[in-house]
Chain A
Amino acid sequence: MQRAVFTLAAFGLLGYCAMPWFGVDYGIFERDWIDAGGLLSEQGAPGLLQTLIHGRPLLAIPGLVLAYVLFSACGIGGVPRGPRLLLCLLVLGLAAVALPPFAARWLGFFPEAGGQALGYGAIVVAASLLLCATTLWARMGRSNRDAFAVGSIALVLVLIGLFVFYPILHVLTQAVSAPSEGTVIGSVLSTATGRDVWGLACFTGGRHCGVAVNSILLGVLTATSTTVLGLAFALLITRTRFPAKGLLRALTILPIITPPFVVGLALILLFGRAGWVTTFAADFLDVEAGRWLYGLWGVWLAQTLAFTPIAFLVLIGVVEGVSPSLEEAAQTLRADLSATMRTVSLPLFRPGLANAFLLGFIESLADFGNPLVLGGADGVLSTEIYFAVVGAQADPARAAVLAIILLFLTLGAFLVQRMWLGRTSYATITGKGDNGARAPLSLRHSAAVHGLTMPWLALTVVVYAMIFYGSFVKLWGYDHTITLDHYRTAFRVEWLDGAVLWSGSAWNSFWTTLTISSVAAPLTAALGLLTAWLLIRQEFFGKTAFEFVTMLSFAIPGTVVGLSYILAFNVPPIELTGTGVILVLCFIFRNMPVGVRGGVAAIKQIDRSLDEASLTLGGGSFQTLRYVLLPLLRPAIVAAVAYSFIRGITSVSAVIFLVSADHNMATAYIIGLVENGSYGVAIAYANVLIVVMLAVMLAVQFAFGGRRLRRQERIGNALPARARS
């Protein structure tokens, strides 16, 4: 324990003496700051020099505290070393590092501490102080002397606070920032209740409803259609003899590897003004080429195509989870197939249906790409937030108010899902071998299921064929010659004087995307699994709230995250806009809940007695995690890494606020192409992304898959029609 404190304090002192306290231009990995004087310049000076030379006496405190802790840890100088005293000192040091810059930003205190972003030195010192404090706290006999667990809890809490809540707080303050005219409350209220937000004109014959009304309407429509389709597919797979079930399961990974707006793009190729179907209808049926696709209905169609697999994944679990013996019981009690479905099966699915509906609602509200591509004049909240920031109006206060409305809607749906449905589940997964056969569908139900699913399947196949075909067509709707031009524009590679020249226009954003995603993915998985481990295996005060908060961040729409990040990290003390770091951080904290969920599910399957065995054999909690749990969690880790990598590539909504000239991302670049009308190149680029992600998925599946424990599904023979007396 002493050694741990010593090492931590020494590391902190190193940061204090030899790393720039404040952020330097272009980051410390570029030469610029060394050319500007390195550690000796005012900007690049470490904490020690800032105190001695540059007149920042407050910064003496963390240095002195660290030195004191270091001395006491190795017993030099006979200094008093009661843990209580040390703990107080460490908290003081931490306050001296963190409080002044934030106080300067928010309250105007310590003006000399504001104005500059914190740098690596400050981060290292703060981390060292924090971990020294948790180690000592653990030693004081609380929390079972488990320094690693206590440190992890503190670290995760601080990170979530800084990168989830601190930015959201900025959105709230931005919303109530002083307007150019009128009072704060008046301006917030007028924005939040305005006709352009809540207007109902589209129901009364007017042209457009308010954006919030559009969002809710779209959410309800999409949630309804995806839930119905999802249930139909779940029934198709479990209760009919549909031959291509493997293909159906494969289709469920499509939305994972498809950037969300690509479906919208393909729909433009089909139903847009120059679309195939549109021109066909115009030529042969003499129907005027309409613009119906560019509006709520188009977005709804795109979202229904894109999100049905998500509803399916929820519902297949529910449909498979309901014990076949319940249906067999109903049949022995004289219910025919339709009656069994109506009176037993459907009521048992009800919690799952509600769950899928709410998930579809949240997904639809959070979707940014499809409304941007197809929305036309019918704006929704997520796109309106974006335009309020980047558009001509440039009104961050309005963006913030809209973001809060969107946040309330999604969090509301999320809370309903957790509170109301959290406990009602009829899924009966017992340890007993449940050997019944599922009831097949009655003829009528079977016809309905096929009637619903087959058009969706056909449309999906056509859509993906469009995506593929469209990327090879010269100019869609006008010149259908097959060409490789679009790929050439985006991904040209030339030999020039014996060197490779990546002259395609997409290479820059392509490599940035891959780099940022592959940096973020392992960090996301690590943080997610660490959090999952804390949630499942550690007991601590406020754990329920902690769990709730980590899951809550899942329901924050990407647009709100993006907005909150540019508002929070555009100014000191944490200044990150324009860097790659802000993208990495955004990915980590947006995708972390997925890692947490995966980790929780995986850790729950590992019997607790394995941990306890390791503990009684003298392994500490870190060793138990490292040598017992991690090797057993390998599949979950790989899945988390792969999934966060792919989510990094496909995400649009948050990223579009955070990209910069130096760090452009593929999706943001493609959106730009779409806005310029370069559909061909956009689709070609999207194709390349899909292929890359598919390759990653297959490689992962090939290398680590194959541990399937799913039991064989059987469909019972259709019962002979029961003679009714």
Chain B
Amino acid sequence: MLHNPNAATATKADHGRVIFDRVSKSYGAVRAVEAVSFDLEPGTLVTLLGPSGCGKTTTLRMIAGLEMPTDGRILISDEDVSTLPATYRNVAMVFQSYALFPHMTVMGNVTYGLRMSGMKNAEARSKAEQALEIVGLAGYGERLPSELSGGQQQRVAVARAVVLQPEVLLLDEPLSNLDAKLRRQVRDEIRALQQRLGVTTVYVTHDQEEAMAVSDRIVIMQGGCIAQDGTAMELYEQPRTAFVASFMGDANLLDCEALRSSDGSWVAMIGDHQFPVAASGVEAGAAKLVARSSAISIGPASERTGVPGEIRSCTFLGDRVLYRIETPVGELFHIKHDTLAHDASENEVRVHLDPARLRLVAR
């Protein structure tokens, strides 16, 4: 078993804690990351999530020491490492391309970091064998990376990183080069391994489902800043901005006026229509109403309540049916999982919105 020796000796709770204190990074005039601050709990898996160009990979590389911040401080295990280069940080990284050294065997790759820190060959080999066993590649030591499948190469990359028992493990889109089926399996394995080793892990991805599946906490980034962070459920249910709402799963976003009644309850006004909303993330005024598919239900046109709607298209997708409904408040999409109840002949419907599942966000 790999045991983190530091974990035993360092009684201080900050071992593996990563703190960003108003960190910025610019390349010339381009600001890739702007005044980002966060505090990652030791032993947790945190995902940096966002579209490409949002600064998530730059943030990861700054933790690794491959990029130096232009401003602000980075602390790892309570030590200021802002100007410490990668070579001297106790951090390991799994690259998107795996970056396995093609001229070295699997064993050569996994022992590389140990040899660089001056460990004797025999000792390094036995450690590497343990690490390979953990990722399920015992006995593959003498192969070259080119003789392995993509999934196996990825495991070697993970073994090469964890064998160093880093304070922080960094994963840069580790699943992007795997096919869809393998992806789900490997991400579960990564999560299991991370929990077993108890190592602080930072995971970069642009796939929100992947992020939700593996993370203790998700940091959503947009334009070099943190849009919102929290657990997957918090971000899904209580997004603070339209960007977060649309990035974490699909949502209908409707321009509205947020009104607060005297009793403290919230109402979203869209034209003449009023929708009561259980909770708001904004002040009163111009806002957006977030209505996920789960907040919408459809009833027959004969009903008196709800908003009248006309089904523009319905697409059968196997385990679900996707509806596009034209309503006075705008076009809505809705997913119905009961595919048998699907009746293509009915065009006129009434649309109901569940106040408990609606949310108001900033425009």
Contact = CB atoms under 8 A, between A and B. Distances in A.
Given A141-B83, A631-B103, A609 B96 contact: yes
A614 interface: yes
Contacts of A615: 65-66, 85-87
B165 to A, nearest CB: 12
Interface stretch (A561-569, A588-596, A616-624): A616-624
Nearest to A142: B83
Q: Which residue, of B93, B96, B116, has the highest number of chain A Cβ atoms within 10 A? A: B116
A141 B68 CA distance: 12
A145 B81 CA distance: 13
A350 B38 CA distance: 54
Contacts of A631: 103
Contact of A146 (B85, B92, B95, B161): B85
Contacts of B160: 613, 617
B112 A619 contact: yes
Contacts of A144: 68, 83, 85
A637 to B, nearest CB: 13
A613 B116 contact: no
A619 B85 contact: no
A627 interface: yes
A617 B113 contact: yes
Nearest to A608: B99
Chain B contact patch, size range: 20 to 34
Interface in A191-208: none
Nearest to A624: B87
B117 interface: yes
A616 B112 contact: no
Contacts of A614: 101, 112, 116
A413 to B, nearest CB: 32
Contacts of B64: 612, 616
A619 B116 CA distance: 5
Contacts of A612: 64, 66, 86, 93, 95, 99
Nearest to B94: A613
Contacts of B93: 612-613, 616
B99 to A, nearest CB: 4
Interface string B76-118: 0000000111111101110111011111000000001100110
A613 B85 contact: no
A610 B145 CA distance: 13
B88 A616 contact: no
Nearest to A623: B116
A359 B88 CA distance: 46
Contacts of B103: 631-632
Interface in A41-70: none
A627 B112 contact: yes
Q: Which residue, of A145, A610, A616, has the highest number of chain B Cβ atoms within 10 A? A: A616
B164 A617 contact: yes
B88 to A, nearest CB: 7
A618 B87 contact: yes
A645 B321 CA distance: 72
Contacts of B66: 612, 615-616
A146 B85 CA distance: 9
Contacts of B83: 141, 144
A628 interface: yes
A479 interface: no
A607 interface: yes
Nearest to B84: A145
Contacts of B116: 614, 617-620, 623
A607 B65 CA distance: 18
A632 B99 CA distance: 13
A617 B85 contact: no
Nearest to A143: B85
Contacts of B164: 617-618
A623 B101 CA distance: 13
A148 to B, nearest CB: 11
Contacts of B100: 613
Contacts of B91: 616
Nearest to A617: B113
A609 B95 contact: yes
A618 B97 contact: no
Interface string A440-481: 000000000000000000000000000000000000000000
Contacts of A617: 92, 112-113, 116, 160-161, 164
Interface string A563-588: 00000000000000000000000000
Q: Which residue, of B65, B89, B99, B164, has the highest number of chain A Cβ atoms within 10 A? A: B99
A435 to B, nearest CB: 24
23 contacts: A144-B83, A144-B85, A145-B85, A609-B95, A609-B99, A612-B64, A612-B66, A612-B86, A613-B101, A613-B160, A615-B87, A616-B64, A616-B66, A616-B86, A617-B112, A617-B116, A617-B161, A618-B87, A620-B87, A620-B116, A623-B116, A631-B103, A632-B102
Q: Give the 9 A-B residue pairs with the shortest CB-CB distance, closest first.
A: A617-B113, A613-B99, A609-B99, A615-B86, A144-B85, A618-B116, A619-B116, A616-B93, A631-B103
Given A612-B95, A613-B99, A631-B103, 17 more contacts: A145-B88, A146-B85, A609-B95, A609-B96, A609-B99, A612-B64, A612-B93, A612-B99, A613-B95, A614-B101, A616-B65, A616-B86, A616-B89, A616-B170, A618-B116, A618-B117, A619-B116
Interface of B: 64-66, 68, 83-89, 91-93, 95-97, 99-103, 112-113, 116-117, 160-161, 164, 170
